[in-house]
Structure 1
Amino acid sequence: MKQWLARLSSERLTALLEERALPQAAGYTRLATYAELAGFLLTDQSVMLGLSRVTAGDVGLLAAVALRALEEHGPVPGVRQAVPAWSTVAPRSVEPSERLLSEPELLDRLAGAGLPRGRVAEALNGLRERALLLPAPSGRLAVPGLLHAHAAELAGYGAPVDELLTSAFNAPEVKRVAAGLGLGEVRTRADAQRGIVAVLSDQQHVRGMVADAPQDALDLLEHLVPGPPLLRTHCFEVIGGRYYGPGAKYTFREGGSGDMGTDWLAARGMVVPVDHDLVELPYEVARALRGDDPVLPVALDPEPPGRTATLPHDADEHGAAAAAAAAWRAELVLRELAAHPVAVRKAGGIAVRDTRRLAKAAGAGEEHTRLWLDLAVNAGLAALHADAPESPSRTRRGTREPAKPTSVRLLPTERYDAWAAAPPAGKLLALVATWAVVPEVFTYWPDDAGETPVALISPQDGFAVPLRRGMLRALATLPEGRGLVPGPEARAELLEHAAWFQPLLGTSLLGGTSDESGEESEFVGRLAATVAEAELLGLVSYGALTAAGRAVSALLEAGAADHFPAVPGAAADPEASGLDGLGVDVARRPALARSVAGLRDALRMSLPAPSTTARFQSDLTATVTGAPAPELAELLSAVGDIESEGHAVVWRISPASLRRAYDAGHSADEVGERLAAASANGLPLPQPLTYTINDTARTHGQLRVVRSACCIRCDDPTLIAEVTGTRGLAKLGLRRIAPTVLISTAPPEETLAALRAVGYAPTLEAETGTTVLERVPAQRAPHRLPTVDQAHPRYGAPTRGVPSSARELAEQLTGGR
């Protein structure tokens, strides 16, 4: 193993480390040499990490290798429990080099089962590249000890009889079984147990006993021998009370179980208790009765889902429209967040009322608004920011009051402004790349959770990425021009196929499938939410992958999720091409860089260039076909309000929206010139729109609020008199001090708000007589999204000269070659 690792390039060793030796599991401080690295790759923990990234076909092929080793070398002893000194069981110590088997023989056996030799050899080579098939002499195969230890379980065998007897019985019960096998009187437990093992290991003798067994016992063996080897029965009861669990000992139930077949098997040690009313068929008995040449079924290629339908002719356009809508809607949500940041609850998350406000302002649903916020936070576009606490103040008696606690708000980060100026494909790149790798299905909230859905949840769903990856790969197997039909049956079938690509979803990898219907139902619910999110992002259209969806699948296959909380692609330059602008840390990983560049290209092809012009109508609407360019969207949102969206976005321009623009410092001439420049085909603005722009400007600013805590002045004495008599302004305490001047007891901001609330359009004036533009300064939080290298921190305290990432360790070991 050490020699094989030493021949790997720095790039290949980096990929292997990031897949199999994550610092969260072991830490690079413990892997300073090839010997230490080889030892770690053979640990159960590292092997499980590797198995979680291959298909069920690969797991089945490794299981077939382990099964052949099991048949040739026997089961690994001492897997289940600590072993007493008097037992014949040896402690578990699996040395793969001592359990080698012939590769040509395995190829012949699998070819006899219908698998082409070339296809199997190709799969074996792929497993060698992942270090799941270990280096071995030419023509020989070796697998990690974990697979040998669980080979019997994988093949449906029970534990060896020696282990079962040791775990379940005291001396009297062992001697009783020995007597049942015709061994007569034995003096010690050790002698009795050795005799039982010898008898049941004699395959011919076992077959002879079974030939004379009652039919009831034969019926039970027919179900137990193929596996699983477990049976519910009342043959045994626990000794000394009601404790069932590790260390419990059992005895034969007085009077038997009432079933002749079960009692016959129990008396001869062919079933041994392992839990309350649960017995297990020993390995030796099943091995004797299965035959001489068992072959574990292996399927290297999955069957595609069958519940499909022909795709509509506009499937690609439908996916592109969904992607464009997603980029636009996410922009609206984050734009509203930038204008009006929201507070974070002490219990975590955002209050429902704030989510509804953001959703209403952006014209989005609450569920999707939460999704955009969560993706933005994990993409480094928004972050929590703690406001500085207020200084303690003194009371009238001179005592100091405690400082008010710090409030936390959700703010856009420094990255937001560049993201907002990017084209739709650039905006979606960051969000889609984040969606691919974040360990959470944000829109999945089970009905029985008893919690109100909130944004800003902590990603901690270990099944989210495997489910996403398996779903995308399963859809990729659909025939050209076919898509999965909607409905629960199709989703259940899709989950089954997704589990083929991600065995973690359907099995424990080293055990049987889960029989918990509740767990399966939960996975179906997560899958439905995952598919809905993919459709929202334009990755799935009518049940089939789009070009962007295939690119996301390739991104996950390149190991992008191994680096979370870093998000490869989230900080990529959307304007660059090829492998440029991806970041140095991503560029150092060629496979990952190619997949990020592929996603960027796929989004560019599916999303058209943003529109820079609008069609203005006499009904005071402005229509933009497709996604509007950021500058155009900012202009139209400043002078109008979004009325409808879809394949086109429509703004409604009104006196109220124009007054808002004038309040921000825009003039009538500027508004007219900029709208005319944005008119499609150079057409002039409609007369009604021009009149509205100018008429609103003539009345705007007639009232001026002077900073003096505060005064209101106007050149029109009649208007001053009208304001003085307005009942809705009574709370301001207005008093006329001159024909054209009023004073107010409220500060300027409150006076402005009150005047606007009753229908006037005042402006704020400085002491110098110039108009003050009412612009809220942009607030930004520092982004905390780590780079790919930073996402793999050093395990433990920093140590001089110790590598802090997989890449550094690989370069240190290989000398950078």
Structure 2
Amino acid sequence: MPAAPLTEWLRGQDDRQLADLLRARPDLAAPPPADVAVLAARAGSRASVTRAAEGLDTFTLAVLDALVVADADRAPVPLDEVAALVGPEVPASRVRAAVDRLVGLALAWGEPESLSVAPAAREAGGLYPAGLGQPSPALDGVDIAAVLAELPDADRRLLGTLAHGSPVGRTRDAAVVVPLERAETPVQRLLARGLLLRRDAETVELPRQVGLVLRGESPLGTVRLDEPPMQLRQHSTVDATGAGEALELLRRAEKLVELWSVEPAAVLKAGGLGVRDVRRLARELDTDDRGAALLAELLFGAGLVADSATATSPEWMPTSAVDPWLVATPQHQWATLAAAWLDLPRLPGLAGMRDAKDKVLAPLSDDLRRPPAPAERRRVLGALADLPSGTGVASPDELADVLAWRAPRRGGRLRDEIVRWTLAEATALGLVALGAITAAGRALLADGPAQAAKAMAESMPEPIDHVLVQADLTVVAPGPLEPTLAVDVGLVADVESAGSATVYRVTEASVRRALDAGRTAEDLHELFRTRSRTPVPQGLSYLIDDVARRHGRLRGGVAASFLRCDDPVLLAEVAAHPTAASLELRRIAPTVLVSPLPLADVLEDLRKAGFAPAAEGADGQVVDLRPKGHRLPATARTRRVGTPNPPSDERLRDIVAQLRAGDTAAATRRGRTVSLAAGGGAADTAATLALLREAIEQQGHVLIDFVDSRGVATQRVVTPFRVGGGVLEGRDDTNDTVRQYPLHRITSASLISRS
């Protein structure tokens, strides 16, 4: 019995099966197909088949290869033939389950005795499905086993190597095909017998028929039925360990912001962050180059740092978004970075590697951009989330092997490396600890950043309100400090070592820094007196008093411009003028006034007040301050992150209804049609009402094109009941429901009759 084409088979599926297909292969639904014929064309395209096959596990791919080897893309094949190719040791139920998976994805269709696949399945699987070469017509009907039995051992060994490896081999013996009696080498003899095929002067190929015979009862080779086992370990401190890593990450991130706020890093000519800047970051943040690159990528992905994009010397520096981030709670700071990493369309692990031209791949450069990266991260975290809570993998390599079995065609040549990079990065973020996913990691994966922040807050230790001051002028914070206390201690002391207990050191420079920020000596004494659980050493009090006694004796101020005049009387007249107040002019010498405002603004206002000042340069010569023209502000580069969401259940129902309507429309004969012009009109509305009333009187059907509230244009076959009040009410024949359609959303209507 011949198999139905894919189009007819899809038309025979119910609405739930079509919705399941569109959910499993969302590329088929964007944009929504007009009818089932369009859906079938998309489902059979090479790009879509390749994309769907990337999600298949090793065994299901073997079954798909068996269908291709059996030429199911040319003629239907029975399930028994497919099972025989997979191997007699494979249970029939496993083959049936794999076929059902392929049928659910529309990669295969038909009944057990009549299975077909799309021709694109052969192209998507490569030139040699299951490692078998192309068939040779010359070997049809030949008893290959008998021919092989007569071959010399050297010839059989050569054929066996090609049968169990790649079917293609390179050899100089293929330069010329000679008769069997003149053949001297195994390759020449096998070419003469037709047991090898010559592809060019240096390439031979093993015919499929020979390969199948040599493989015996395993025509597809060794088929791995189940995924490889993993050694699992149970841990009780996963969340606490992850929270510790998260706090350390935040400390380093804040340090990076501080460094680039003071001294931004240069942007390379080709884009990205230079090797020297990466090493400087690694040194300052007490991490390695890979850790420094990851931090830079995280802050960049979160929009907290950006390329200044100036024409002369662009730099990496914090953005305005970093200030609210710095004052946020630790759990929300963490959630911002974790969410940015999860959706980052880049691979930080590539930083420091070399491309095909031996060029070093720089962090923050476009060379690290990989749009599939978010999906790969979610796949790795999803595999860990499938394990019981607190259960971790013993080795990243074992997890890589499992994921390779689940989707061998995904990830490309970096497939296993991406798994290792993802685990290392997730561990640094506190999403994974001890090889297990944390509660915060599960929440981020399933519910988003808000729930992840709550889970991380429960895992983080409670902030403490005290420190321990030591006699050697060190201050120990036995845990994360309250935000205000952390700011105060960080202002008066420098971090000496970080970890679960942070050690600060008070120095003359750090005390001076606190005084520069506006703190007084009494403020510092009060801080240590009230917040230290240990007695304040006398040496610390002496240090604070000594620095405070010398602090501020020499004063400096900020001035953007100055006015000088050899005539003190004229300068006094300027200082007494009402304009001086708005210009914030202040006398610092009998002949000098200073202002915090730009010089151009000062001169303009003084000229309006009747004075005649002139501008001078550093050499005392008069300079022209007139503007040179308009300037455009530099804009930061825009980034696109994230992946499109799959269609919702409601949207899937709409798409399936549109498919049915399109099929119905294709099978009908159209009669009189009314199309509404852009913007509509009285004549259009009258004609539409007349057509709809005619259909009601005749108890007929109409095909309407309308635009829904989301702006999506669809078709519906409707049996109208009533029209009035600006609404058409009728039965939607595609899903047998009664609906109302606003007349102003109907763009055309046609009387139809069923064919």
TM-score band w.r.t. shorter chain: 0.5 to 0.7
Give, in whole Å, the separation in 2 of the partners of 1:17 and 1:528.
28
5 Å matches for 1:511-550? 530-542=422-434, 544-547=435-438
Higher Cα Rg: structure 1 or 2?
A: 2
Report the alpha carbon displacement of residue 43 of structure 1 after superposing the two structures with TM. Answer: 1.3
Report the alpha carbon displacement of residue 648 of structure 1 after superposing the two structures with TM. Answer: 1.6
Report the alpha carbon displacement of residue 333 of structure 1 after superposing the two structures with TM. Answer: 1.5
What's the secondary structure of 1:504's corresponding residue? coil
What's the secondary structure of 1:704's corresponding residue? coil
Residues 414-451 of structure 1 deviation map (CA, whole Å, 9 limit, x = unaligned) = 43233323333333333334434445442455677765
- Partners of 2:49 and 2:107 within 8 A in 1: no
Report the alpha carbon displacement of residue 273 of structure 1 after superposing the two structures with TM. Answer: 0.9
Structure 2: which amino acid aligns with 1:55? D
Are residue 99 (structure 1) and residue 115 (structure 2) matched? no
Are residue 499 (structure 1) and residue 404 (structure 2) matched? yes
Structure 2: which amino acid aligns with 1:154? P
Give, in whole Å, the separation in 2 of the partners of 1:455 and 1:611.
37
- Partners of 2:493 and 2:504 within 8 A in 1: yes
- Partners of 1:376 and 1:431 within 8 A in 2: yes
TM-score of the two chains, using structure 1 as the length reference:
0.58
Determine the structure 2 residue equivalent to 1:651: 504
Residues 42-96 of structure 1 deviation map (CA, whole Å, 9 limit, x = unaligned) = 21112222222333233234334444x43xx5xxxxxxxxxxxxxxxxxxxx57x
Which residue of 174, 186, 190 corresponds with 1:265? 190
Q: Could you list the runs of 5+ residues in structure 1 that have no partner in the other structure?
A: 23-27, 74-93, 162-196, 238-249, 388-404, 509-518, 556-592, 712-740, 750-778, 793-799, 801-806
Determine the structure 2 residue equivalent to 1:665: 518
Kindly tell me: are residues 322 and 128 of structure 1, through their superposed partners in 2, closer, same or farther at Cα, counting changes over 3 Å? farther
Determine the structure 2 residue equivalent to 1:7: 15
Which residue of 291, 297, 305 corresponds with 1:368? 291
Which residue of 109, 118, 124 corresponds with 1:144? 118
- Partners of 2:400 and 2:416 within 8 A in 1: yes
Give, in whole Å, the separation in 2 of the partners of 1:616 and 1:627.
16
What's the secondary structure of 1:703's corresponding residue? coil
Structure 1: which amino acid aligns with 2:554? L
Residues 364-405 of structure 1 deviation map (CA, whole Å, 9 limit, x = unaligned) = 444422221112112222222234xxxxxxxxxxxxxxxxx4
Are residue 425 (structure 1) and residue 364 (structure 2) matched? no
Determine the structure 1 residue equivalent to 2:706: none
What's the secondary structure of 1:304's corresponding residue? coil
Determine the structure 1 residue equivalent to 2:229: 304
Determine the structure 2 residue equivalent to 1:157: 132
Give, in whole Å, the separation in 2 of the partners of 1:785 and 1:5.
41
Give, in whole Å, the separation in 1 of the partners of 2:181 and 2:146.
27
Give, in whole Å, the separation in 2 of the partners of 1:668 and 1:457.
47
5 Å matches for 1:341-352? 341-352=264-275
Residues 587-629 of structure 1 deviation map (CA, whole Å, 9 limit, x = unaligned) = xxxxxx6366775565445433444543444544333233344
Determine the structure 2 residue equivalent to 1:62: 64
- Partners of 1:615 and 1:624 within 8 A in 2: yes
Kindly tell me: are residues 698 and 470 of structure 1, through their superposed partners in 2, closer, same or farther at Cα, counting changes over 3 Å? same
What's the secondary structure of 1:651's corresponding residue? strand
Give, in whole Å, the separation in 2 of the partners of 1:550 and 1:304.
23
Give, in whole Å, the separation in 2 of the partners of 1:137 and 1:296.
26
Determine the structure 1 residue equivalent to 2:573: none
Report the alpha carbon displacement of residue 41 of structure 1 after superposing the two structures with TM. Answer: 2.8
Determine the structure 2 residue equivalent to 1:754: none
5 Å matches for 1:259-338? 259=185, 261-287=186-212, 294=219, 298-305=223-230, 317-338=240-261
Give, in whole Å, the separation in 2 of the partners of 1:790 and 1:286.
44
Report the alpha carbon displacement of residue 409 of structure 1 after superposing the two structures with TM. Answer: 2.5
Give, in whole Å, the separation in 2 of the partners of 1:355 and 1:42.
48
Report the alpha carbon displacement of residue 325 of structure 1 after superposing the two structures with TM. Answer: 1.4
Kindly tell me: are residues 65 and 379 of structure 1, through their superposed partners in 2, closer, same or farther at Cα, counting changes over 3 Å? farther
Count of paired positions: 585
Give, in whole Å, the separation in 2 of the partners of 1:264 and 1:661.
89
Which residue of 304, 307, 312 corresponds with 1:384? 307
Are residue 200 (structure 1) and residue 139 (structure 2) matched? yes
Are residue 704 (structure 1) and residue 555 (structure 2) matched? yes
Kindly tell me: are residues 39 and 407 of structure 1, through their superposed partners in 2, closer, same or farther at Cα, counting changes over 3 Å? same
Are residue 230 (structure 1) and residue 230 (structure 2) matched? no
Determine the structure 1 residue equivalent to 2:369: 460
Q: Which has the higher strand share?
A: 2
Structure 1: which amino acid aligns with 2:487? E
Determine the structure 1 residue equivalent to 2:43: 41
TM-score of the two chains, using structure 2 as the length reference:
0.62
Kindly tell me: are residues 282 and 595 of structure 1, through their superposed partners in 2, closer, same or farther at Cα, counting changes over 3 Å? farther
Give, in whole Å, the separation in 2 of the partners of 1:262 and 1:123.
39
Give, in whole Å, the separation in 2 of the partners of 1:600 and 1:620.
36
Give, in whole Å, the separation in 1 of the partners of 2:92 and 2:217.
23
- Partners of 1:668 and 1:697 within 8 A in 2: yes
Determine the structure 2 residue equivalent to 1:402: none
Give, in whole Å, the separation in 2 of the partners of 1:808 and 1:63.
42
Determine the structure 2 residue equivalent to 1:639: 492
Kindly tell me: are residues 353 and 299 of structure 1, through their superposed partners in 2, closer, same or farther at Cα, counting changes over 3 Å? closer
Determine the structure 2 residue equivalent to 1:175: none
Determine the structure 1 residue equivalent to 2:3: none
Report the alpha carbon displacement of residue 202 of structure 1 after superposing the two structures with TM. Answer: 0.8
What's the secondary structure of 2:195's corresponding residue? coil
What's the secondary structure of 2:504's corresponding residue? strand
What's the secondary structure of 1:155's corresponding residue? helix
Structure 2: which amino acid aligns with 1:702? R
Q: Percent identity?
A: 28
Determine the structure 1 residue equivalent to 2:348: 442
Give, in whole Å, the separation in 2 of the partners of 1:671 and 1:783.
44
Give, in whole Å, the separation in 2 of the partners of 1:223 and 1:333.
56
- Partners of 2:180 and 2:192 within 8 A in 1: no
Report the alpha carbon displacement of residue 159 of structure 1 after superposing the two structures with TM. Answer: 0.8
Which segment drifts farther, 106-115 or 646-655?
A: 106-115
Residues 566-605 of structure 1 deviation map (CA, whole Å, 9 limit, x = unaligned) = xxxxxxxxxxxxxxxxxxxxxxxxxxx6366775565445
Structure 2: which amino acid aligns with 1:370? A
Give, in whole Å, the separation in 1 of the partners of 2:539 and 2:634.
40
- Partners of 1:99 and 1:142 within 8 A in 2: yes
Kindly tell me: are residues 334 and 228 of structure 1, through their superposed partners in 2, closer, same or farther at Cα, counting changes over 3 Å? same
Task: Pick 1 or 2: higher relative contact order, CA cutoff 8 A, min separation 6.
Answer: 1
Give, in whole Å, the separation in 2 of the partners of 1:691 and 1:108.
90
- Partners of 1:100 and 1:142 within 8 A in 2: yes
- Partners of 2:303 and 2:319 within 8 A in 1: yes
Are residue 413 (structure 1) and residue 319 (structure 2) matched? yes
Give, in whole Å, the separation in 2 of the partners of 1:214 and 1:427.
72
Report the alpha carbon displacement of residue 690 of structure 1 after superposing the two structures with TM. Answer: 5.0
Kindly tell me: are residues 65 and 699 of structure 1, through their superposed partners in 2, closer, same or farther at Cα, counting changes over 3 Å? same
Structure 1: which amino acid aligns with 2:129? L
Are residue 551 (structure 1) and residue 404 (structure 2) matched? no
Give, in whole Å, the separation in 2 of the partners of 1:606 and 1:692.
39
* Cα-Cα RMSD: 5.1
5 Å matches for 1:576-655? 594=447, 599-600=452-453, 603-655=456-508
Kindly tell me: are residues 599 and 710 of structure 1, through their superposed partners in 2, closer, same or farther at Cα, counting changes over 3 Å? closer
Which segment drifts farther, 135-144 or 267-276?
A: 135-144
Q: Could you list the runs of 5+ residues in structure 2 that have no partner in the other structure?
A: 1-6, 563-587, 597-632, 647-677, 679-708, 717-731, 736-755
Report the alpha carbon displacement of residue 641 of structure 1 after superposing the two structures with TM. Answer: 1.3
Report the alpha carbon displacement of residue 642 of structure 1 after superposing the two structures with TM. Answer: 1.2
Give, in whole Å, the separation in 2 of the partners of 1:4 and 1:419.
55
Give, in whole Å, the separation in 2 of the partners of 1:500 and 1:44.
23
What's the secondary structure of 1:623's corresponding residue? strand
Report the alpha carbon displacement of residue 334 of structure 1 after superposing the two structures with TM. Answer: 2.3
